[in-house]
Structure 1
Amino acid sequence: MPSKLLDALLLAMPLSPTLESWRQHLLSHLNYPVQGAQSLFIGDPVLVIVSFQPDRAEVLLPAMEWRHHDIKTPKPRCQGIVLERGGSLEQLLTLVDDTIALRLKSFRECGGCGKRCAPEVLGSLQGEPVCRDCIKGRRVLF
């Protein structure tokens, strides 16, 4: 999730006009909710992360690393970088769209309610993937 302290520190180092225009375009033209300032967390649950640095935009696929059956750590994977010099808004939008499509492919249908859910919110009940809402009150591993 977005870090307000990190975003505040990064905002103290303003982006170049090109990167700022890309960031503003993403904020105003995406059909998903967006959180964050310098790092944009797009979607709910998060479908893609776009991290703006002084000279580039990095597109990340949200992912979790499971250290134990009940301990997970966010480990986003880089899907690509668009450099300010030589890069374009179209390249960034294509990378964002491709990453969203890849993320949505990882969603599975809940065996209880039929809703498509992100893998990190699904558990298993008798071998069926089940979302947290359907499994409340039952003892199950996520």
Structure 2
Amino acid sequence: MKDVVDRIRESPKLPNPYHIGEICVLLPKDNPDLRGKAGYWGVVSHVGDYSCTVQTWDGDYTVKIEHLKLLELLDEDCQFMQQLCVRLRQLHQVASRDSSVDWLLQGLGKQAKPYLSSLQAKLLAAVEREYKLVWKQPKQN
């Protein structure tokens, strides 16, 4: 048994495959902290040796890498998702928000696609106007 433990300790460490700014989906598996978060997507904000911190619409989660699934997106799609995450987080921080806003946040927070339908974009913009949240799209180069 001691031999096995020593070999594991001496084995080369596999690098964490994730990078800051990438978009991942949470995989709760056996992690009780992720209960109810299946399918949530988020932005990698910190990369550790064996874990990552992921920002989602409703908070930050530090999870082992086996609790993440990378969405292989183009850079511009990652940027869109990063901006969408900021917008959803701003809405989530509105203390007096109507409960129907939570439905929208949950729906968009589980839709791991780098775009919004026309109706989704209009709904999000209407809710942002309702709570006087101004979203200015970054200028394209």
TM-score by shorter chain over 0.5? no
Higher strand share: 1
TM-score scaled by length of structure 2: 0.29
TM-score scaled by length of structure 1: 0.29
Higher relative contact order (CA 8 A, sep 6+): 2
Higher helix share: 2
